[in-house]
């Protein structure tokens, strides 16, 4: 069982490099961070976590973006575009409809390549440079490939992307392609792609930059730091709950590590740690199953399907780090249907915020948990939305309204406006969406 406890006074082991090392969360073995290329413990195969000889405090942070938080990261600066500093939107109509004290939307789609993955890549590709690797690689449902291709291009490193054939949104493939990644479509699902990439990495053919790589999660910690700082600056308190979509569970693990380090530094009281609440699609919900059944790890789902392509994952590799994060913070996990996800995507869009389907899962989950009474009316809630609307333009078009055809005249436009949503084009468009 994973042990994620942080020592009160960390002593750097002999293998540490400038106060940084890798710690196995299963057996406790310590590893040098930049000597050899490793992703899991060489002693037991357990997941690794980046550890430091000191914990950061809020007073140390200065600047903007991800590298504002370099006191909590392995380097002063990484390969940057730059990334981070994403908005914490208000959503007044949604807040009133759902019935919570405060509702904010942390929109990670406003990163350079349109998703939170950029935060991990700015750190991960910097590590790749330090290790002097020749090729970067990832398995992807789309967002990871776009981010890796962009940051690999910035660092002038060759990039290999493995995608599940026919299962990745066009906008994401276009990004990876334009940034000159080598793209291979595998006849299998995401988890099959990850199996192959891990094998390539084990053979020394590529440097793996999926979230199995512990340095990826270090960059993603900064989502939590931005939420804590921004919410506190506006409200004088920290949010009660953070609701987030769960695919490989990297963000859940990263946020929990952020909170553990800030508690260890003394700048975040244990009682102020937000409840981590994970949301998955019903067709890909191994984390929800594990929470409901009290499991220490997930059972692999071989067949997964959902409109939310970014979280269409049946074997979340970071579950051993993420499950304790949900439980220890007093959070929970919930599964939502594809129709609930699409409804939430429309509702978020009505606030002027454009997100892809997987992002909308967080709001869909909050709705469901509020209706069941798990989330109280007096809570301050932040919903994390992980990717931009244009990441999946086909899904956006399907969820939105269709244009109405009109003749080439002002009068025709006015007649259409007078007809409102009852025009033939509007009716046919809604019927098409209802029929799927």
pLDDT digits 0-9 by tens, 286-318: 999 999 999 999 999 999 999 998 999 999 999
Reported confidence tier of residue 173, pLDDT bands at 50, 70, 90: confident
pTM reported for the whole predicted model: 0.92
CA angle 173, 174, 176 (to 5 degrees): 65
pLDDT of residue 334 exceeding 70, the answer is: yes
Instruction: Residue 277: name the closest of 388, 155, 372, 174 by CA.
Output: 372
Q: 3-state SS of 127-158? A: HHHHHCCCEEEEECCCHHHHHHHHHHHHCCCE
pLDDT of residue 220: 98
CB of 41 within 8 A of CB of 31? Answer: yes
Angle between helices 338-349 and 357-371 (to 10 degrees): 100
Confidence of residue 420 (pLDDT cuts 50, 70, 90): low
Question: Count of alpha carbons within 13 Å of 133, Cβ hemisphere only?
Answer: 28
Cα 341 to the chain's mean position, in Å? Answer: 16
Q: For 125-152, what is each residue's pLDDT tens digit? A: 999 999 999 999 998 878 899 999 999 9
pLDDT at 88 over 70: yes
Work out the pLDDT band at 53, boundaries 50, 70, 90: very high
Give the whole-angstrom CA distance, residue 52 versus residue 71: 10
The HSE-up count of residue 180 (CA atoms within 13 Å, CB side) is: 9
How far apart are alpha carbons 44 and 56 in whole angstroms? 30
Q: Are 22 and 33 contacting, i.e. CB atoms less than 8 angstroms apart?
A: yes
pLDDT band at 434 (very low <50, low <70, confident <90, very high): very low
Residues belonging to the chain: 436
Q: Number of H helices and number of E strands within the chain? A: 14, 13
Return phi, psi of residue 100, to 5°: -125, 165
pLDDT band at 432 (very low <50, low <70, confident <90, very high): low
Decide if pLDDT at 49 tops 90: yes
Give the pLDDT confidence of 187-242 residue by residue, as tens digits.
999 889 989 999 999 999 999 999 899 999 999 999 999 999 999 999 999 999 99
pLDDT at 427 over 70: no
What's the mean pLDDT in 250-274? 98
Instruction: Give me the mean pLDDT over the 369-375 stretch.
Output: 98
82 upstream amide cis, omega within 30 of 0: yes
Compute the mean pLDDT over every residue in the chain, rounded to the nearest whole number: 93
- Highest-confidence range of 96-100, 168-172, 194-198, 307-311, by mean pLDDT? 96-100
Q: What pLDDT digit, counting tens, does each position of 104-118 carry? A: 999 999 999 999 999
Residue 345: count of CB within 10 angstroms of its CB? 31
pLDDT for res 385: 98
Name every residue whose Cβ is closer than 8 Å to that of residue 79 and which is 6 or more positions away in sequence.
Answer: 121, 122, 125, 126, 129, 151, 154, 155
Q: Tell me how far apart the alpha carbons of residues 229 and 274 are, in angstroms, rounded to a whole number.
A: 13
Residue with tokens 């979280």: 311
């Amino acid at each position: 069982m994973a042990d994620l406890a942080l020592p009160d006074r960390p002593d750097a082991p002999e293998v540490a490099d400038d106060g940084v090392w890798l710690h196995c969360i299963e057996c406790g073995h310590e590893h040098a961070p930049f000597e050899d290329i490793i992703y899991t413990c060489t002693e037991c195969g357990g997941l690794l976590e980046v550890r430091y000889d000191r914990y950061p405090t809020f007073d140390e942070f200065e600047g903007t973006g991800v590298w504002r938080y370099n006191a909590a990261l392995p380097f002063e600066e990484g390969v940057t575009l730059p990334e981070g500093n994403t908005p914490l939107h208000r959503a007044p109509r949604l807040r009133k409809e759902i019935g919570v004290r405060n509702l904010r939307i942390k929109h990670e789609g406003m990163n350079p390549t349109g998703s939170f993955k950029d935060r991990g890549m700015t750190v991960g590709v910097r590590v790749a440079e330090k290790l002097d690797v020749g090729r970067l690689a990832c398995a992807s449902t789309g967002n990871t490939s776009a981010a890796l291709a962009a940051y690999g291009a910035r660092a002038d490193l060759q990039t290999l992307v493995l995608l599940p054939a026919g299962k990745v949104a066009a906008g994401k493939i276009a990004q990876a392609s334009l940034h000159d990644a080598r793209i291979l479509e595998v006849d299998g699902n995401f988890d099959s792609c990850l199996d192959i990439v891990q094998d390539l990495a084990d053979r020394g053919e590529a440097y793996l930059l999926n979230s199995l790589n512990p340095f990826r999660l270090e960059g993603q910690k900064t989502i939590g730091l931005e939420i804590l700082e921004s919410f506190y600056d506006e409200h004088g308190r920290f949010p009660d709950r953070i609701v987030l979509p769960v695919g490989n569970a990297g963000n859940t693990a990263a946020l929990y590590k952020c909170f553990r380090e800030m508690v260890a530094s003394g700048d975040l009281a244990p009682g102020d740690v937000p409840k981590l609440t994970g949301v998955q699609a019903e067709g890909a919900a191994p984390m929800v199953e594990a929470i409901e059944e009290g499991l220490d790890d997930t059972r692999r789902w071989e067949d997964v399907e959902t409109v939310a392509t970014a979280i269409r994952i049946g074997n979340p590799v970071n579950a051993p780090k993420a499950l304790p994060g949900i439980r220890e913070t007093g959070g929970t996990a919930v599964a939502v249907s594809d129709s609930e996800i699409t409804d939430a995507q429309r509702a978020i869009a009505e606030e002027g915020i454009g997100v892809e389907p997987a992002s909308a899962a967080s709001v869909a989950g909050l709705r469901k948990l509020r209706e069941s009474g798990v989330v109280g009316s007096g809570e301050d809630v932040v919903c994390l939305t992980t990717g931009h609307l244009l990441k999946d333009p086909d899904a956006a078009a399907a969820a939105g309204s269709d244009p109405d055809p009109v003749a080439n005249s002002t009068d025709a436009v006015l007649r259409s406006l007078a007809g409102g949503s009852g025009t033939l084009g509007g009716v046919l468009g809604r019927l098409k969406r209802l029929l799927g």
